[in-house]
Amino acid sequence: MNRVVITGMGVVTALGQDLDTFWGNLTSGKSGVSRIENFDVSEYPTQIAAEIKDFNIENYVDRKEARRMDRFVQFAVAGALNALKDAKLNVAEDTDPERVGVSVGSGIGGLGTWEEQHRILLEKGPKRVSPFFIPMMIANMASGQVSMITGAKGPNSTAVTACATGTHSIGDSFKILQRGDADVMICGGAEATITPIGVAGFCALRAMSTRNEEPTKASRPFDVDRDGFVMGEGAGILVLETLEHAQKRGARIYAEVIGYGMSGDAYHMTDPDPDGAARCMKRAIKDAGISPEDVTYINAHGTSTPVGDKSETTAIKKTLGEYASKVAVSSTKSMTGHLLGAAGGVEAVICGLTIANNTIAPTINIDNQDPECDLDYVPNVAREANVKIAMSNSFGFGGHNATIVLKKFEA
């Protein structure tokens, strides 16, 4: 089987839209959470999110193209173009386009487009609904537009597994490359659900923090005073290549992808099952051919919900046993917010940067650690460490679980 490496990464987040800004803010413990400005939230229980204030898609594509893309697709395109630029890879000129694939998922897809066109339907009638409504809204259009804009003609698919989407997209791409069905995969997740109905829906679930007066302190994974997750938006995209392909073109390598695990809880629509998450992590470790004691760092799913954080802590203990207390675990959602289907993409980028920079980003806002969440969560301050193997967890509504394992590259 082929070895698979990360050669390029791109992010679009509330903490930054380029790697240097993003990593600098992350390692300094800065929160991207603020009051929502895109619409009137005065009647909402939750009025905060990690909203991207200054995104301009016309920095990447022309206005006509941009108008035919939902915001989540725009994020995906920007992230992919940033990742390819970072990888110094031009699909048409530097490789065989038929050996370059795309797998960029979204948990929800074009919610903003759906909402806007439904308003037009009610106010102006069916004849005024845009002919671009469907192709703007459907979740697979992130992969579709990235393929069209970059010229990638290889395997092209879309995972839709709620908050596990980005990690499934990367893991599936890893397997495509490992078995030789492509040389390059552009993969990750994109999401744009900070819309009136999106926020209302999660408020109705009572899943989100209502700490509106202290936005930057609202996302507080593993803290005893956590009261729900904080929504984020954006994209996290990786360029994965077979090692042979990367070395032939002299590419810079951030890290190697060595393992991928999946499982289903078969338990509850929204509540997690620690046994399902533990099965997922164990499968990823087995696929990587390592032992639990080899793991240096875990980027936790860590959403800041009372049930979820406790469940993941239990799952990590079930997976690593007594060694769990010796592993650094952090939830960067404390700063980025929860990007739903894009979370796994952004957090894979974080794991790649962690390995490359020998620095672990913290979990901020741990003022009073929950005694039932008793692992080393790298509280509040970044930590220098020689991270040889990093694991990233993503768990989604419906009981979808995904874990990937990255390793410091050794020729």
Q: Are 55 and 12 in contact (CB under 8 A)?
A: yes
Question: In the 8-state DSSP scheme, what is residue 85?
Answer: H
- Indicate the pairing of strand 255-264 with strand 400-407: antiparallel
**Do 221 and 347 share a domain, yes or no?**
no
What is the CB neighbour count within 10 angstroms for residue 286? 12
Give yes or no for a contact between 49 and 205, defined as CB atoms under 8 angstroms apart.
no
Do 96 and 52 reside in the same domain of the chain? Answer: yes
Decide the pairing of beta strands 389-396 and 297-299.
Answer: parallel
The residue among 221, 248, 275 that closes a domain is 248
Are residue 145 and residue 120 in the same domain, yes or no? yes
pLDDT, tens only, 18-60 = 999 999 999 999 999 999 999 999 999 999 999 999 999 999 9
pLDDT at position 24 is 98
Task: Note the pLDDT of residue 367.
Answer: 97
Question: Which two three-digit tokens encode residue 199?
Answer: 């926020």
Q: Are residues 15 and 130 in the same domain?
A: yes
State whether 189 and 50 are in the same domain: yes
Total domains in the chain come to 2
**DSSP of 142-202, one letter per residue?**
HHHHHHHHHT--S-EE----GGGHHHHHHHHHHHHHHTTS-SEEEEEEEE---SHHHHHHH
Low-confidence ranges of the chain (pLDDT < 70): none
User: Is 62 part of any domain?
Assistant: yes
Looking at the structure, do residues 161 and 272 belong to the same domain, yes or no? no
C-alpha span between 319 and 299 (Å, rounded): 15
From CA 198, how far away is CA 57, in angstroms rounded? Answer: 22
Residue 289 shares a structural domain with residue 242? no
- What CATH number has the domain bearing residue 131? 3.40.47.10
Residue 254 lies in a domain: no
- The reported pLDDT for the residue numbered 411 is 85
Range of the domain at 10: 4-248
pLDDT tens-place string over residues 159-208: 999 999 999 999 999 999 999 999 999 999 999 999 999 999 999 999 99
Indicate the helix (H) or strand (E) that contains 241.
strand 234-242
Are residue 162 and residue 19 in the same domain, yes or no?
yes
The CA R_g of the chain, rounded to the nearest whole Å, is 20
Q: Please indicate, yes or no, whether residues 289 and 352 belong to a single structural domain of this protein.
A: yes
Same domain, 166 and 274: no
190 domain residue, yes or no: yes
Tokens at 106, concatenated: 């979204």
Of 248, 271, 289, at which residue does a domain stop? 248
Q: Is 338 inside a domain boundary? A: yes
In a domain, 375, yes or no: yes
pLDDT score at 271 = 82
pTM of the model: 0.97
- Looking at the structure, do residues 313 and 220 belong to the same domain, yes or no? no
Q: Is residue 300 part of a domain?
A: yes
Residue 253 lies in a domain: no
pLDDT of 274:
82
Looking at the fold, whether 347 and 375 belong to one and the same domain comes out as yes
| Residue 364, domain member (yes or no) | yes
Residue 163 annotated among the catalytic residues of the structure: yes
Q: What is the distance between the alpha carbons of residues 268 and 259, in angstroms, rounded to a whole number? A: 27
Domain boundary among 215, 248, 281: 248
Q: What are the strands, taking DSSP E only, across 64-172?
A: 100-105, 156-157
